[in-house]
Chains A and B, each alone.
Chain A
Amino acid sequence: MKVMIKIAWRNIWRNPRRSLIMILAITVGLWAGLFVSALMFGMMQTRFVTAIEQHISHIQIHHPGFLIDKNLTHSIPDWERLRNQLNAESGVRAFTGRAIVSGMLSTATQTRGITIVGIDPAAEAQTTGIDKNLLEGSYLEEGMRNQVLMGRSLAEKLKLRIGSRLVVTFQNVDGELLSTALRVAGIFQTANIMFDEQNVFILKSGLAEYTGNEMLVNEVAVLLHDHEQAATKSEALKAIYPDLSIRTWGEISPELSYIQGMGQSMMLVILAIILLAVAFGLVNTMLMSVYERVYELGMLMAIGMNRRRVFQMIILETTFLTFLGALTGMALGYLTSHWLGHTGLDLAPIGGEAMLQFGYPSVVYPMLETGFLFQLSILVMVMVFITAIFPTIKALKLKPAVAVRND
């Protein structure tokens, strides 16, 4: 066996160009497969994370009545207690309490139904990063009076700008209709146009002036460190607050899990097709190389090497080549994904501006999980192996005499 190994190894380097071609083919295939997966995965993650982190967070807590009618009467009774608890909870990355009421926004020419969201600017920034989505103007700050943040699409529809004056009308806790004038302090854009059109942000303390209740909160959004913990955390909370509606992102937005799932199967299909491409390329290259060596193999068999040994030799050669190719491919794949994962791949030149328009970053961060890396590489290697067997068997069927004459 040892001898065969040596022979196999030397065979490879005897014809460096041929060997390099095959190694290259495997490398490129594996690298492409890894990179594509990393890219797709990274894209999906960005989308997913953006949707969750910008809007719905991981867990949302409400008074059950709020889900039917967004008014201030359906507030969370235990806000202080809940707040202290969430502060102490380890898995919680950030959370924020909001005072939300549906109302109407009037300008000199138009009136529209909107949702007024009273926020705590610091907590909100930590939970949804809305401050980073500001296109113009400035973020809300405690102490500022009568300022409002508005989505770009809404501002456009109402023909408003920074500094524009508008009046909001809403129902107070006692059912009384209140109106107040506001000025547009900042214009934001998130990845969800519908959200931008419907929601405006003011200071929660501003609303408190009317309700007389600083602690009035009717929506709590929680951001966890690990989104997969959402279900467990929410169950734990439900046990403590049985009267509140506590929902995970999956429950709030089933479309998101649909898109995740859809994205995953699409990725598999794409990967399958690319791997098929790699496989076919390899098969052909292998076949070609076997045919090229017909003379040499015939010679070997003519001088006495038995078929089993020839088979071993070729298998070993294939193994070495595959390993070399796989290692290089994996290394390249890992390196490029990792490097781009840090600096990001800017898709703007090939149409990524469309993404910017929607509040998505145009930069994609490919992500490669090491587990996936190995899984894929092994898959490729197995594939290569199988593709090598076919031509090898072909080669074994050669008759030495005929082979020697074939040139």
Chain B
Amino acid sequence: MKILVKLAWRNIWRNKKRSLITISSVLFAVLLAILFKSFEVGAYGQMIENMVRYSTGYIQIQDVLHEEEPSMDHSLLFDENLETIIAEHADMIAFTVPRIQHFALAATPTQTRGIMVMGIDPEAELKMNDLTENMVAGEFLVDYDPDIVLANGLAEILNVSVGDSLVLLGQGFQGATAAGIYRIKGIVHIRLPDLSKNTVYMSLETARWFYMADSRLTSLIIMPRNPGQTHKIAASLNASVDPEWLTVVTWEHLLRDILAMMRLDQVSSLVMMLILYIVITFGLLGTILTMIMERQREFNMLLSIGMKKKTLAAVCYMETIFISFAGIFAGIVVAIPIVFFFYYNPIPLTGDMAQTMIDFGFEPVMPFSTDPAIFIEQVQIVLVLSLLVGFYPVYKVFRMKTVQVKK
């Protein structure tokens, strides 16, 4: 056995050029597969991250009944217990975003319109996304602000501007009537049309007073330091909070409808990857085939001087193994810097499409992912492919007729 290994090894280095070419085949295969997958995962991840940042956050703590029926009665009490639990997880949590989000009626002398009240902590919101950064007029909220800020679409519909007062009515906590008149401090530009036409922002304390919901929140968003740990953190929080009152959910649960729709995209990606693998295999096969043909004479010679077919076949296969490993290793070595380069310097997009992306709050780039799972997975696949292709020389060897010594 040892001799065979030695033979295989020496065979490889006997003809450096030929071996290098074959190794490079494998290298490119690995490199391309990794690039492809990295891009796919990156693009998907970018979409998810955008959705998470602009609506649900990674983790939310809610009242148990809130999902079924989002009313103020199903709001959570942000008491010392909860604060302690959050503090216990401080090392894993980057920051929290408290919110009171509920329906209300906005009334001007001429109109009444159903709207959404967003009671927020302005600083925390800004950490999460820049939705509220583009002021069109006036100023944005500060902590404990008694005034309100309208989304631009709504301001237009109600025909109000900074300095005007708006009457808000709604249903408060435990049946209390929520009513108040508020001064419009500013108008903010919101990109998404649905939000823009319907949102009124106020400080958390003002919202609490409006809905008579002292110390309460409709949801507490938790943003982890490392998104990869989302599930871990959620599970740990779930175990710590009182299950009779509170529940902890992740973005996967909150966005499940949209995610289901996105699964469709993954089907097409799968088809693409399959085709890529086919092409790669052909590339490998081409290289191997040519190599075999070139070494016909050598094989014939070996067989005619007495080497058994199966020994020759074994040696051939071992060569394939060595080359595959070398190629894969080289492929990873080359792939890593390239992927990381694109990770830190994503390819920028231009034109109308880029503008639309910006309008939606996305960065107009093509993202790549550096998740190690990608590397591992692609390596495994290419390995399997090369080992399969490696069977061809074995097959050829067994079919050779020893008499055929040409040239």
Q: Which of A342-398 contact B (CB under 8 A)?
A: 347, 350-352, 354-355, 357-358, 360
Please tell me if the beta carbons of A280 and B25 are within 8 angstroms of each other in the complex. yes
Please tell me if the beta carbons of A258 and B22 are within 8 angstroms of each other in the complex. no
- In the complex formed, the residue of A with least CB distance to B35 is A273
Least Cβ distance of B79 to chain A in Å?
A: 33
Q: Is A21 an interface residue (CB 8 A)?
A: yes
Please tell me if the beta carbons of A274 and B25 are within 8 angstroms of each other in the complex. no
Q: Is A255 an interface residue (CB 8 A)?
A: yes
Cα–Cα distance between A43 and B17 once the two chains are bound (Å) = 43
Least Cβ distance of B69 to chain A in Å?
A: 10
Identify which of B32, B39, B294, B353 contacts A277 (C-beta below 8 A): B32
- Beyond A25-B283, A274-B276, whether A257 also contacts B260 by CB under 8 A is no
Please tell me if the beta carbons of A25 and B286 are within 8 angstroms of each other in the complex. yes
Cα–Cα distance between A28 and B287 once the two chains are bound (Å) = 14
Q: Quick one: which of B271, B284, B297, B352 has the most chain A CB within 10 A? A: B271
Chain A residue numbers with a CB within 8 Å of B352 are 257, 261
Q: Is B282 an interface residue (CB 8 A)?
A: yes
Chain B residue numbers with a CB within 8 Å of A68 are 157
Cα–Cα distance between A37 and B43 once the two chains are bound (Å) = 19
- Beyond A277-B29, A281-B282, A281-B284, whether A289 also contacts B276 by CB under 8 A is no
Please tell me if the beta carbons of B353 and A262 are within 8 angstroms of each other in the complex. yes
Q: Is B18 an interface residue (CB 8 A)?
A: yes
Q: Which of B277-301 contact A (CB under 8 A)?
A: 278-280, 282-284, 286-287, 289-291, 293-294, 297
Identify which of A29, A266, A281, A282 contacts B43 (C-beta below 8 A): A266
Least Cβ distance of A200 to chain B in Å?
A: 19
Please tell me if the beta carbons of B356 and A261 are within 8 angstroms of each other in the complex. yes
Q: Which of B122-130, B171-179, B214-222, B262-270 lies at the interface?
A: B262-270
Q: Is A18 an interface residue (CB 8 A)?
A: yes
Cα–Cα distance between A81 and B162 once the two chains are bound (Å) = 43
Q: Which of B357-407 contact A (CB under 8 A)?
A: 357, 359-360, 366, 407
Q: Is A314 an interface residue (CB 8 A)?
A: no
Cα–Cα distance between A281 and B157 once the two chains are bound (Å) = 61
Q: Is B24 an interface residue (CB 8 A)?
A: yes
Cα–Cα distance between A351 and B263 once the two chains are bound (Å) = 9
Cα–Cα distance between A68 and B17 once the two chains are bound (Å) = 72
Chain B residue numbers with a CB within 8 Å of A265 are 349, 353, 366
- In the complex formed, the residue of B with least CB distance to A358 is B261
Q: Is B257 an interface residue (CB 8 A)?
A: yes
Please tell me if the beta carbons of A288 and B287 are within 8 angstroms of each other in the complex. yes
Q: Is B93 an interface residue (CB 8 A)?
A: no
Please tell me if the beta carbons of B353 and A273 are within 8 angstroms of each other in the complex. no
Least Cβ distance of A283 to chain B in Å?
A: 8
- Beyond A280-B28, A351-B266, whether A28 also contacts B279 by CB under 8 A is yes
Q: Is A39 an interface residue (CB 8 A)?
A: yes
Chain B residue numbers with a CB within 8 Å of A261 are 351-353, 356
Could you list which residues of chain B lie within 8 angstroms of chain A, going by C-beta atoms?
17-18, 21-22, 24-25, 28-29, 32, 35-36, 39, 43, 157, 257, 260-261, 263-264, 266-268, 270-272, 275-276, 278-280, 282-284, 286-287, 289-291, 293-294, 297, 349, 351-353, 356-357, 359-360, 366, 407
8 interchain residue pairs of minimum CB distance:
A281-B283, A261-B353, A288-B290, A285-B286, A280-B28, A258-B356, A292-B294, A284-B287
Beyond the given A22-B286, A24-B282, please list 11 additional residue pairs across the A-B interface where CB-CB is below 8 A.
A35-B275, A260-B353, A265-B366, A269-B366, A273-B32, A274-B275, A277-B280, A280-B32, A285-B287, A288-B291, A292-B290
